[in-house]
Amino acid sequence: MLARGIPRPWRLLMVIMVVYGFMWIKGWPRHYDEEELPPSMRPQTGSALGPHRVGHDHLVVSVMTTATDVYTKLAPSLSYLFEEDKDPTLLFADLQMNVGEWPVFDVLFGYTTDFIGANQELERYRQQVDYARKSIPLSMARKENPQEEALVHATLDKYKILQAMARAWEYRPDRSWYAFVSDDTFVDRVNTLDWLAQYNPKTKWFFGNPAVSGVPDGFASGGNSFVLSAGAMKALFKERKNVIKNWEHHITEYDSAFDLVFAVLQAELNLSLTAAYPGISGADPSTVPFSPAVWCERVMMMHHVPADIASDLYLLRKNRTESHIEKPLLFADLWKRFMAPEDLRHNRTDWDNLSSDTSNARWNILFQSDDPNDGHAPNGEASPEACAASCESSEYCMQWSYSSIPQKNWNENGETKCHLSSSLRFGTYSPPHESEVNGVKKLRTWKSGWRKDRFTAWANHQRCKNPAQ
């Protein structure tokens, strides 16, 4: 009856509108344009290295720092973050603070008051909280001896790490990968995600590098950062409720945060460490042991990166943003940017190119033995000139260093003055330093030289296969 009261033209218009509406609904797109979706919801097609590619926001990077370094070390590094890096970045320390818009979470606050008050190893934390309440500069808490201060930081790191892992899962739950790094660590997130695409994040994975035993800095070569999969994090902090409580009274038994994490994962999940060297390394561009072993490998994480080099690395990545997926950052690229421009034709006095460093043991060339074909080099102990000549005569030698006092080589050479290496490293300025040897004070000096022409001739013939092709 109602329809009869509507004029014919209006009825025709209503029919057209109903048909149009039906066709419009039927044609409703089943998929959004990829650019309209957040990265984690966009279709993933795998990567050059594996099928388990995930969005950029699925790599949560937790930066570990300490209150006395927040404004000196952490603050500058935050300016090197790209916009897409900000959401999956968390900052954890031993005091609640803010750096501009960034909250820095005090993870030690997660322990009970009784536990904090009774633990001698948390004396610095109690001191920092007291200073903060009284507005005393935190710099006053620092120890004058750098080694003693470093030990305090390492001790606090042991207590922070499990709490930080739990908070990372709480604040950014159900992401695919969780990385835990220091405040002076360079992270190439695209390379790291591409490398992780080889592995299913739902499976339990623990990536990092074990410490080298018997040397002063066991993490010098591999670094102490690590990555856990969602499968491992879920098993620790969702399927288990009391991991931290069960382990908090055992923390004093471990030398480092990494050792503690290693033990917890082994005991709780029967999960072993999978090495990720050289992608995750303890080097920076000035200490990378450039050699065939690392040349075509991807750079994922680098540790103890000085502030000026961190700035240069940021600019290097920024200038590659359009091609960093098709052309990932390799160690060969670090050579071209940082080492190729350096004038290494002349020997340097008061310079240590790290030929005898603990992290260089695998590249240190042995002196001659009874076998003339063993690839060993002539003994160059007599003088810096003899050491340089020894390097020149060895086809494998790329650099040498000479110390006025014998130094350990961390291999069969034992303690020597002449140190030869088959890798090439820039190293660092090392002024004369007084050392005590057998109760006698002696002045230690360094002199270093390189065979850059020899290494460059090799490098110019290398063509790294592009994994994106």
Q: Could you tell me if residue 430 is inside a domain?
A: yes
Residues 87 and 217 in one domain: yes
Query: What confidence score (pLDDT) does residue 374 get?
Result: 64
Query: What confidence score (pLDDT) does residue 111 get?
Result: 97
The residue among 225, 248, 281 that closes a domain is 281
Residues 277 and 351 in one domain: no
The residue among 247, 281, 315 that closes a domain is 281
Mean pLDDT of the chain: 87
The residue among 265, 281, 297 that closes a domain is 281
Residues 353 and 269 in one domain: no
Residue 382: give the domain boundaries: 345-453
Residues 271 and 354 in one domain: no
Q: Could you tell me if residue 100 is inside a domain?
A: yes
CA atoms of 254 and 274, how far apart (whole Å): 20
Q: Could you tell me if residue 39 is inside a domain?
A: no
Query: What confidence score (pLDDT) does residue 382 get?
Result: 95
Query: What confidence score (pLDDT) does residue 450 get?
Result: 98
* Range of lowest pLDDT (140-144, 317-321, 458-462): 317-321
Which residues are CB-contacts of 317 (< 8 A; sequence separation ≥ 6)?
A: 188, 324, 329
How many residues can be counted in the chain? Answer: 469
Q: Could you tell me if residue 296 is inside a domain?
A: no
Rounded average pLDDT over 14-38: 42
CA atoms of 17 and 2, how far apart (whole Å): 18
Q: Could you tell me if residue 28 is inside a domain?
A: no
CA atoms of 442 and 18, how far apart (whole Å): 97
* CATH at 150: 3.90.550
Q: Could you tell me if residue 379 is inside a domain?
A: yes
What DSSP character marks residue 70?
A: I
Is pLDDT above 80 for 464? yes
Q: Could you tell me if residue 206 is inside a domain?
A: yes
Rounded average pLDDT over 220-243: 92
Bridge partners of 179, per DSSP, are 61, 227
Q: Could you tell me if residue 333 is inside a domain?
A: no
Is pLDDT above 60 for 2? no
Could you report the per-residue pLDDT of 349-359, keeping only the tens digit for each?
999 999 999 88
Rounded average pLDDT over 426-441: 89
Query: What confidence score (pLDDT) does residue 366 get?
Result: 87
Residues 229 and 96 in one domain: yes
Cβ atoms of 277 and 331 closer than 8 Å: no
Residues 67 and 210 in one domain: yes
Query: What confidence score (pLDDT) does residue 115 get?
Result: 97
Q: How confident is the model at residue 247 (pLDDT cuts 50, 70, 90)?
A: very high
For the chain, how many structural domains are there in total?
A: 2
Residues 91 and 201 in one domain: yes
Query: What confidence score (pLDDT) does residue 319 get?
Result: 86
CA atoms of 208 and 198, how far apart (whole Å): 15
Q: What is the CA radius of gyration of the chain?
A: 28
Cβ atoms of 44 and 53 closer than 8 Å: yes
Could you report the per-residue pLDDT of 85-136, keeping only the tens digit for each?
999 999 999 999 999 999 999 999 999 999 999 999 999 999 999 999 999 9
Could you report the per-residue pLDDT of 382-426, keeping only the tens digit for each?
999 999 999 999 999 999 999 999 998 888 888 999 999 999 999
For residue 59, the surrounding DSSP H or E stretch is strand 59-64
Between 388 and 22, residue with greater pLDDT: 388
For residue 164, the surrounding DSSP H or E stretch is helix 146-171
Helices (H), 172-255: 189-196, 230-237, 243-247
Is pLDDT above 80 for 372? no
In the three-class reduction of DSSP (H, G, I as helix; E, B as strand; rest coil), residue 389 is classed as helix
Cβ atoms of 105 and 90 closer than 8 Å: yes
Residues 120 and 244 in one domain: yes
CA atoms of 144 and 176, how far apart (whole Å): 42
Is pLDDT above 60 for 4? no
Could you report the per-residue pLDDT of 149-197, keeping only the tens digit for each?
999 999 999 999 999 999 999 999 999 999 999 999 999 999 999 999 9
Is pLDDT above 80 for 17? no
Between 134 and 218, residue with greater pLDDT: 134
Residues 122 and 240 in one domain: yes
Cβ atoms of 348 and 428 closer than 8 Å: no
| Sign of the C-alpha dihedral computed for residues 214, 218, 221 and 227 taken in this order | positive
Residues 274 and 388 in one domain: no
Q: How confident is the model at residue 31 (pLDDT cuts 50, 70, 90)?
A: very low
Residues 60 and 170 in one domain: yes
Q: Pick the closest to residue 328 from 186, 465, 177 (CA basis).
A: 465
Cβ atoms of 194 and 217 closer than 8 Å: no
* Range of lowest pLDDT (160-169, 186-195, 309-318, 430-439): 430-439
Residues 269 and 350 in one domain: no
Cβ atoms of 185 and 299 closer than 8 Å: no
Rounded average pLDDT over 14-22: 49
Q: Which two tokens stand for residue 448?
A: 């270093």
Q: How confident is the model at residue 446 (pLDDT cuts 50, 70, 90)?
A: very high
Could you report the per-residue pLDDT of 272-284, keeping only the tens digit for each?
999 999 999 999 9
Q: Which two tokens stand for residue 97?
A: 């603070």
pLDDT above 90 coverage of the chain, percent? 74
Q: How confident is the model at residue 137 (pLDDT cuts 50, 70, 90)?
A: very high
Rounded average pLDDT over 221-237: 92
* CATH at 394: 3.50.4
Chain centroid, CA 464 distance in Å? 23
Between 17 and 276, residue with greater pLDDT: 276
CA atoms of 230 and 205, how far apart (whole Å): 8
Query: What confidence score (pLDDT) does residue 225 get?
Result: 94
Amino acid at 350: D
Rounded average pLDDT over 230-259: 96
Cβ atoms of 377 and 366 closer than 8 Å: yes
